[in-house]
Chain A
């Protein structure tokens, strides 16, 4: 049996394959296994059902945020339409499940594929535009999709919304937080695995080349339009997949939540978590979701305090303010996000006591 390797004190990589490894050391591999075991076999049975609901929402947000990170963090194309794509996925799953009676195991990936196609349509402007012009084009995409979701009555039932049947495996209905926990987190692990590996392939390298310098990438023979479209497709596939999971989890779908605010929240997750970093997207999703829940709790608490209700102060805007403040502070003080903080903490442990 070979010896376990622990963290080296410097960079001892000798070839490209070593550079590409996901886990630098066995130590990392073991701790990841322990984490996954704890996640799947301890968490759903120990925490309260409210906490489980929060964890599930984090899982769904993390899938969508990973998708957006592929587009924004790795390919460098800023999209303000991710919330709308999430909505397209939710509606696609709802329509497939109610109109065509498709089972959830097929409806969820199919919703992802439908969203990928929609994403590619809205990715077409990236052939001619880049930078802030592309951002404005995706902003327009957000409004157009939102309009279609509300006004295409024959398919989306307008403001009434669609109610989904609960997913069933053979005779067994998937209802409640715990079964959904497994559904969401198995998908999250699979999607993370896929994203990490696609970034180690030819496609991932092409994305990074486009982000770093698109003209140089084109000069090196990368067909940039094709790869940009591919990146839009992958990222919207993730959004659509997450949206479909969300639709099943929430049971009914209306167009309200898929507004510009949701798109901004996803970009905030990517930035706060760390751009161009897959675990970063998960950190960001956790941070923003927990922040939302915490602020909801605090505002609820403050509303019930006697002297605040009597003085007529409204505490609801606190959420908006703190959300904006979090984005601004992260951009000003740690633009590389929580992933970078996490790296600093880890390396300070590793290098202790000679941390220079």
Chain B
């Protein structure tokens, strides 16, 4: 029973991480329908910026965090401006392959500067965040993750429901032409959504880095793990990303714990195929209806 509970808790913790990594991905898809294969590299860039700021520049944690967020916000802006804007209205495969190419470029750059080794942040989270309940132990960073993901969920929920920019984004996602004719500045919406997505990605990268250490290969493989998560939750639903993440996390830890550890990495993709066959738009995704 203890084993089961520990697996359950671990699963939820890992799932929260997946969920929080998937949020930025969903942001981009929601506003510009771009499938971002460079998401893992965006996570890694954020994590490495933070690393550079606290170890090389010796900035205090809080300042480094804020600077990383600002830097990644700008980076997202630039990526949209130089690489994705020329492709508005182009075929799907070009957009997908462009992000694949960007992923290779970013990965090459990170490997060039920081190498493929595992780096670690100095410990800075306060210990009182750790939870202990009977034999079950939750590390402080997971509590922090839970809090961060809740805060972001509420913030994004409010942003998309209440703020005018959020409503513009939803309108662009729904129908680009109609939004354009109603006076929405579509290009600004795209730029903003990439900037926000890069910001969210960098933050999740930092969280992942605190838990597993910072390593390009690990972080970019998380970028691919995001696919089952977002398909399960629905490609354009942010709360779906969190719930999908938790389900995938539970699935992984339970197969790892009860069936076989090697099956653990492939189970999400097997589930992914079944979801696509049964319910392609996921649990909370918007069903696209095509009319002739």
B90 partner residues in chain A, CB cutoff 8 A: 335
Contact assessment for B112 and A318 in the assembled complex, using a CB-CB cutoff below 8 Å:
yes
- Tell me, yes or no, whether A175 is within 8 Å of chain B by CB: no
- Tell me, yes or no, whether A271 is within 8 Å of chain B by CB: yes
Contact assessment for B115 and A314 in the assembled complex, using a CB-CB cutoff below 8 Å:
yes
Contact assessment for A135 and B108 in the assembled complex, using a CB-CB cutoff below 8 Å:
no
The interface stretch among A91-99, A103-111, A138-146 is: A138-146
Contact assessment for A129 and B276 in the assembled complex, using a CB-CB cutoff below 8 Å:
yes
- Tell me, yes or no, whether B211 is within 8 Å of chain A by CB: no
Taking the closest CB of chain B, its distance from the CB of A110, in whole angstroms, is 27
Contact assessment for B273 and A328 in the assembled complex, using a CB-CB cutoff below 8 Å:
no
- Tell me, yes or no, whether B231 is within 8 Å of chain A by CB: yes
- Contacting residue for B103 out of A124, A136, A318, A324, CB 8 A: A324
Contact assessment for B94 and A132 in the assembled complex, using a CB-CB cutoff below 8 Å:
no
- Contacting residue for A125 out of B98, B100, B227, B276, CB 8 A: B276
Taking the closest CB of chain A, its distance from the CB of B30, in whole angstroms, is 14
- Tell me, yes or no, whether B272 is within 8 Å of chain A by CB: yes
- Tell me, yes or no, whether A319 is within 8 Å of chain B by CB: yes
B106 partner residues in chain A, CB cutoff 8 A: 324
Contact assessment for B273 and A132 in the assembled complex, using a CB-CB cutoff below 8 Å:
no
Contact assessment for B280 and A324 in the assembled complex, using a CB-CB cutoff below 8 Å:
no
- Tell me, yes or no, whether B60 is within 8 Å of chain A by CB: no
Taking the closest CB of chain B, its distance from the CB of A112, in whole angstroms, is 24
- Contacting residue for A331 out of B35, B97, B224, B265, CB 8 A: B97
Contact assessment for B102 and A143 in the assembled complex, using a CB-CB cutoff below 8 Å:
no
- Tell me, yes or no, whether A14 is within 8 Å of chain B by CB: no
B277 partner residues in chain A, CB cutoff 8 A: 124-125, 128
Q: Which B residues form the contact surface with A (CB < 8 A)?
A: 35, 83, 86-87, 90, 92-94, 96-98, 100-112, 115, 224, 227-228, 231, 262, 265-266, 269-270, 272-273, 276-277, 280, 290, 292
Given known contacts A136-B231, A215-B290, A271-B94, is B101 in contact with A325 (CB within 8 Å)? yes
Q: Beyond the given A140-B270, A320-B108, A321-B108, could you list 15 further A-B residue pairs with CB under 8 A, ordered by the A residue number?
A: A78-B93, A125-B277, A128-B280, A135-B35, A143-B265, A144-B269, A268-B97, A316-B111, A317-B111, A317-B112, A318-B112, A320-B105, A327-B98, A328-B105, A331-B97
- Contacting residue for B92 out of A78, A137, A215, A323, CB 8 A: A78
Query: Interface code A19-33, partner B: CB below 8 Å = 1, 0 otherwise?
Result: 000000000000000
Contact assessment for A72 and B111 in the assembled complex, using a CB-CB cutoff below 8 Å:
no
Taking the closest CB of chain B, its distance from the CB of A186, in whole angstroms, is 32
- Tell me, yes or no, whether A219 is within 8 Å of chain B by CB: yes
Is the interface on chain A under 10, 10 to 19, 20 to 34, or 35 or more residues? 35 or more
C-alpha spacing A176/B98, complex, angstroms:
39
Contact assessment for B104 and A327 in the assembled complex, using a CB-CB cutoff below 8 Å:
yes
B101 partner residues in chain A, CB cutoff 8 A: 268, 323-328, 331
- 8 residue pairs, one from A and one from B, having the closest CB atoms: A321-B108, A324-B104, A327-B101, A317-B111, A324-B105, A320-B108, A140-B269, A328-B101
Taking the closest CB of chain A, its distance from the CB of B75, in whole angstroms, is 16
Contact assessment for A129 and B105 in the assembled complex, using a CB-CB cutoff below 8 Å:
no
Taking the closest CB of chain A, its distance from the CB of B97, in whole angstroms, is 6
A135 partner residues in chain B, CB cutoff 8 A: 35, 92, 96
Q: Can you report 9 A-B residue pairs in the complex whose CB atoms are below 8 A from each other? A: A124-B277, A129-B276, A137-B276, A139-B227, A140-B276, A260-B224, A317-B112, A320-B104, A332-B98
Taking the closest CB of chain A, its distance from the CB of B31, in whole angstroms, is 15
